[in-house]
């Protein structure tokens, strides 16, 4: 079994996904910051539903969760029929892979576990698959620490930065991608001021990023999404730092809705734009951003707030969960393999091949 101990790294105390006593353990991110509670899962279908319902969210965290969910499915299928569990689990893997369409880490984790199953496991499949899931989890945390340092090194000391959505420990195996850069940059005194977009309609910035930064004792200021261009105009921000749910082969990036408009505003105001994501988020099979599927979620998420209807009955809503930021608006893509400045297809392929 692979240990997932917290390293002695500043501002690294939160784990959204854990394996505890043979069960999948998730922080319920839907109820933060009002309540802090864990939910436990024993079977794959309920774990897939947790991904769909956003108990857990953020591409890397979804991938880690999916890996552990495969362990649960193998345990159930092997116990029911040790001779036919590999065939029986295929339907579970398909169900899991379809839990959310945009985040490529989900599919990446499922296919990684499927490959191990297909390769043939001669002994206990649960122990072997758990070891693989824990390795995925540990490697994600290590990658985030590495990306945090690489991204922080790009930032001039005393800078202000802006984040969008939640890209921290809650969105990953631990530490975070873009928020990992914030953690590392703040610890190194490169980042002086942190601003966080609310990120409507789920308010991942207002609820989750703010909660994480409070837990870590990192001071930050919350702004409405629409205030970001004015903040840039006032010269308060040197970098926008965001995560990614999928990065196409040419560097086009799918991320939480509102990222594209923030990138446009950043370019106009001379603010640098950084995407931080592990290489499991890079999809070289996707030619460019136009081929990335964009999840459309329920209208109620926009028409209601906190369970209360805020728009008149009979009114409709359009609720894309993600948008595409073209590579031409991105100054740096930071992965655990290194930094790609002014990304192009050639640079992305070279980085992935390194």
Q: How far is it, in rounded angstroms, from Cα 109 to Cα 91? A: 16
Interaxial angle between packed helices 85-97 and 104-118, expressed in degrees from 0 to 180 and rounded to the nearest 10: 170
Q: Which of 92, 245, 323, 331 is catalytic?
A: 245
Q: CA-CA distance, 20 to 172, in Å (whole number)?
A: 17
Cα Rg of the chain, angstroms: 20
Strand pairing category for 332-335 and 338-341: antiparallel
Alpha-carbon distance of 290 to 176, in angstroms, equals 27
3-class DSSP state of 7: coil
Question: In the structure encoding, which two tokens stand for residue 299, read together?
Answer: 């209208």
Number of alpha helices (DSSP H) and beta strands (DSSP E) in the chain: 11, 16
Is 2:46 a contact under the CB 8 Å cutoff?
no
For residue 2, count CB atoms less than 10 angstroms from its CB and return exposed for 0-12, middle for 13-18, buried for 19 or more.
middle
Tell me phi and psi for residue 71, to 5 degrees. -60, -45
92 given a catalytic annotation: no
Measure the CA–CA gap between 301 and 288, rounded to whole angstroms: 29
State how far the Cα of 61 lies from the Cα of 52, in Å rounded to an integer.
Answer: 13
Cα of 331 vs its chain's centroid, Å:
20
Q: Encoding tokens for residue 289?
A: 């951003």
In 3-state terms, what secondary structure has residue 295?
Answer: coil
- Positions marked active-site: 245
């Amino acid at each position: 079994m692979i240990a997932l101990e917290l390293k002695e790294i500043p501002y690294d105390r939160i784990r959204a996904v854990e394996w505890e006593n043979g069960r999948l353990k998730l922080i319920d991110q839907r109820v933060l910051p009002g309540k802090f509670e864990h939910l436990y899962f024993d079977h794959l279908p309920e774990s897939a539903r947790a991904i769909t319902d956003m108990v857990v969210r953020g591409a890397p965290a979804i991938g880690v969760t999916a890996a552990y969910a495969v362990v649960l499915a193998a345990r159930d299928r092997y116990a029911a029929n040790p001779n036919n569990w590999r065939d029986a689990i295929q339907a579970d893997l398909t169900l899991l892979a379809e839990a959310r369409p945009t985040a490529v880490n989900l599919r990446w984790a499922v296919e990684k576990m499927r490959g191990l199953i297909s390769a043939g496991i001669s002994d206990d499949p649960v122990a072997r698959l758990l070891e693989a899931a824990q390795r995925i989890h540990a490697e994600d945390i290590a990658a985030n620490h590495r990306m945090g340092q690489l991204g922080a090194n790009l930032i001039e000391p005393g800078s202000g930065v802006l984040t969008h959505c939640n890209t921290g420990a809650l969105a990953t195996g631990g530490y975070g991608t873009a928020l990992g850069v914030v953690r590392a940059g703040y610890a190194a005194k490169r980042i002086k001021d942190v601003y966080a977009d609310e990120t409507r309609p789920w308010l991942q910035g207002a609820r989750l990023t703010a909660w994480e930064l409070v837990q870590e004792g990192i001071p930050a200021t919350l702004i409405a999404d629409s205030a970001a261009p004015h903040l840039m105009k006032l010269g308060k921000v040197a970098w926008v730092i965001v995560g990614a749910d999928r990065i196409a082969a040419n560097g086009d990036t799918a991320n939480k809705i509102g990222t594209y408009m923030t990138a446009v505003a950043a370019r106009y105001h001379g603010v640098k734009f950084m995407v931080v994501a592990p290489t499991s988020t890079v999809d070289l099979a996707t030619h460019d951003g136009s081929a990335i599927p964009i999840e459309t979620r329920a209208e109620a998420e926009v028409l209601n707030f906190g369970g209360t209807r805020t728009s008149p009955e009979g009114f409709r809503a359009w609720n894309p969960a993600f948008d595409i930021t073209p590579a031409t608006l991105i100054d740096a893509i930071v992965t655990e393999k290194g930094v790609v400045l002014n990304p192009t297809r050639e640079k992305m392929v070279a980085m992935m091949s390194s």
